[in-house]
Structure 1
Amino acid sequence: MAPAVLYARETGLGVAEFRQILVDSGLSAIRPVDDEERLAAMLAGANFAVTARLDRPGRPLVGLARGVTDFAWCCYLSELAVSPAAQGLGIGRGLLVEARRRLGPGVALILASVPEAVGFYERVGMERVADAFWYRRQR
């Protein structure tokens, strides 16, 4: 039987756990995981994080939805990361459900997907947005 998954809003996530979930999920290919100072700044600048932890000793972090929100109109999710060891347990969907529950129905949830995850977001009912724009990071 699969262990229960505990979802929570966490404000004190440490850099080491943040780095590990980025590495485990594969997002390390597009995140600055070797720059601890930048990871700390990323955590400090986010005002919304929902975690998924397994209900077993040590409560390992197996999923994270991290973002920035005004809690009134929109929330931009910078990461939706799930450890491959926990994939198939519905954690990605669970993180999105929990984030939406905590934000409420008046807040839009927005994210930029890696190409490999587009199908997942379509399956969970997210709508593609055609008219999005950005300035790319220089580093």
Structure 2
Amino acid sequence: MAIEYRVNAPVTADQFIELLNASTLGERRPVDDRACMAGMISNSNLTVSAWEGDTLVGISRCVTDFHYACYLSDLAVHKGYQKMGIGKKLQALTQQQLGPRCKLILIAAPGAADYYSPLGYSHSERCWVLEPGAFLGNAG
């Protein structure tokens, strides 16, 4: 099995949905909302993908300024391809696309929290999430 890695290669919404469903991320993403999924993949400005032939088996999907912050929105590897180093390689290739001062930032899936520390990530309790429709104070 030869895995090919590609930077910013086209990924269709259907390929993205299929991969998320074949990984653990499908449970936590709006995979039943194809328009949302299409927007997620098309508006990412950095993707690194892993392919076996024409089959998408892994992805690192990011939104970044390339200089200071890179939010790694999705790191997904097909269950049949996990524990082969694909996720680590995706992260390393993602980091190679970034400037020397750029931080890689992510929110870990509940079952993956122990995965990131051995890779060099530091844990932060400073993350805040505002859900759609939540109160924004006196913003206007």
**When the two structures are superposed, what TM-score results if normalisation uses the length of structure 2?**
0.89
Assess if the C-alpha contact under 8 Å between 2:70 and 2:105 holds in 1.
yes
Assess if the C-alpha contact under 8 Å between 1:11 and 1:48 holds in 2.
no
Quote the residue 1:20 is aligned against: 18
Q: In structure 2, what residue type is equivalent to 1:130?
A: E
The structure 1 segments of at least 4 consecutive aligned residues displaced by more than 6 Å after TM superposition are none
Q: Which runs of 5+ in 1 are unaligned?
A: none
Larger radius of gyration: 2
Q: Tell me whether 1:46 sits opposite 2:44 in the alignment.
A: yes
Quick one: which of 7, 10, 14 aligns to 1:9?
7
SS at match of 2:113: helix
Quick one: which of 108, 115, 118 aligns to 2:103?
108
Identity of aligned residues (%): 35
State how far apart, in whole Å, the 1-side matches of 2:72 and 2:128 are: 16
Quote the residue 1:67 is aligned against: 62
State how far apart, in whole Å, the 2-side matches of 1:19 and 1:11 are: 16
Q: Which runs of 5+ in 2 are unaligned?
A: 134-140
**When the two structures are superposed, what TM-score results if normalisation uses the length of structure 1?**
0.89
Quick one: which of 52, 77, 81 aligns to 1:82?
77
Assess if the C-alpha contact under 8 Å between 2:48 and 2:94 holds in 1.
yes
